[in-house]
Amino acid sequence: MELWAKEYQSEDLVLSYRIKETLHTERSKYQDIAIVDTYQYGRMLLLDSVVQTTEVDEFVYHEMITHVALSAHPNPKKVLVVGGGDGGSIREILKHKSVEQAILVDIDERVVELSKQYLPSISCGFDDPRVTVNIEDGLAYVKRAKNEFDLIIVDSTDPIGPAVGLFAQEFYRDLYAALKEDGMFVAQTEPPWSSKTFLPELHSVLHNIFPIVKLFLANIPTYESGLYSFTICSKKHDPTVIQPGKHVPNAKYYSPEMHKAAFTLPPFVAELVDMK
């Protein structure tokens, strides 16, 4: 018998993965969680039937959502991850020696627990003494924080379901307040090919809050269109410039040259976020 996991990337597009085995499924308090073992991409985490991460390609997403900002900030010491319960962002953050505290806030403790159990190559940073995990709504956590973080990474699901508040103006104002005076935040902001309304609206909102707002891109095979966008907002430092003394060991997608190239946008993407 052949088993296939199907993801509706849109109502008109389905990506299907042949699977060896369904390792776990459950309905948590917040969402459907599934972990399957695929032939092409190794083990895969799905939330509400949407692919979140796979063993084979997760390095792209996790390297790019962390190292761009960590390399552009001169001395990031205290870093917050909102979402990211699989632990991949935490694993990458810990590669930066300046980091003293890496705090993860995920609303769903089952994602953290199941990632520890089934995705050890991704979740392997959770035992580091610099890491704290808080099971709580990221919105509430960020609202309480004031002038506290050098960097906040919003490593969320898509802007539907439990993550919808993570794409609202009030949240971005709270993020601004939670950052130190030279802080940055970075978020995953969907594939440009299918975000021709979302990205212009998002960047319009962010430009009213942060002095510096930039989009960058990365190739992620298991996300719709294979091209994913990230938005980085900064109070002071130019996120396209790498600070002196930065080194990211063992990166497979990120490099100083890829840092620069990722901010080079094809004209059809540039026009989505050009606010002139």
Interacting span for its own copies (CB under 8 A) from 53-61, 75-83, 92-100, 148-156:
53-61
User: Residue 144, interface with its own copies (CB under 8 A)?
Assistant: no
Question: Would you give the DSSP letter of residue 205?
Answer: H
Which of residues 39, 129, 181, 197 is near its own copies by CB under 8 A?
39
Tokens for 263, please give them: 């901010």
> For the purposes of burial, counting CB atoms within 10 Å of the CB of 197, is it exposed (0-12), middle (13-18) or buried (19 or more)?
exposed
Q: Which is nearer to its own copies, 18 or 146 (CB)?
A: 18
Interacting span for its own copies (CB under 8 A) from 103-111, 133-141, 179-187, 252-260:
252-260
User: Residue 28, interface with its own copies (CB under 8 A)?
Assistant: no
- Cα distance between residue 1 and residue 96, in whole Å: 46
Which of residues 28, 124, 139, 193 is near its own copies by CB under 8 A?
193
The strand pair at 149-155 and 101-106 is best described as unpaired
Q: Which is nearer to its own copies, 244 or 267 (CB)?
A: 267
User: Minimum distance between the CB of residue 163 and its own copies, rounded to whole angstroms?
Assistant: 23
User: Residue 252, interface with its own copies (CB under 8 A)?
Assistant: yes
- Cα distance between residue 103 and residue 250, in whole Å: 23
User: Residue 208, interface with its own copies (CB under 8 A)?
Assistant: no
User: Residue 196, interface with its own copies (CB under 8 A)?
Assistant: no
User: Residue 127, interface with its own copies (CB under 8 A)?
Assistant: no
Site pattern 57..76 for its own copies (x: CB under 8 A): x-xx----------------
User: Minimum distance between the CB of residue 239 and its own copies, rounded to whole angstroms?
Assistant: 16
User: Minimum distance between the CB of residue 146 and its own copies, rounded to whole angstroms?
Assistant: 38
Given a contact cutoff of 8 angstroms between Cβ atoms, the answer to whether 52 and 86 are in contact is: yes
User: Residue 121, interface with its own copies (CB under 8 A)?
Assistant: no
Which of residues 4, 27, 140, 147 is near its own copies by CB under 8 A?
4
- Cα distance between residue 221 and residue 54, in whole Å: 10
Using DSSP's 3-state secondary structure scheme, residue 200 falls into helix
Tokens 């594939």 found at: 191
Strand partners, 123: none
User: Minimum distance between the CB of residue 184 and its own copies, rounded to whole angstroms?
Assistant: 22
Tokens for 241, please give them: 């410039």
Q: Which is nearer to its own copies, 138 or 192 (CB)?
A: 192
Q: What amino acid positions are annotated as catalytic residues?
A: 155
Tokens for 22, please give them: 């369904």
- Cα distance between residue 265 and residue 203, in whole Å: 15
* CA dihedral (49, 124, 113, 83) positive or negative: negative
- Cα distance between residue 261 and residue 242, in whole Å: 12
**Under the rule (CB under 8 A), what is the footprint of its own copies?**
4, 10-18, 38-40, 57, 59-60, 193, 217, 219-221, 224-227, 251-255, 257-258, 260-261, 264, 266-268
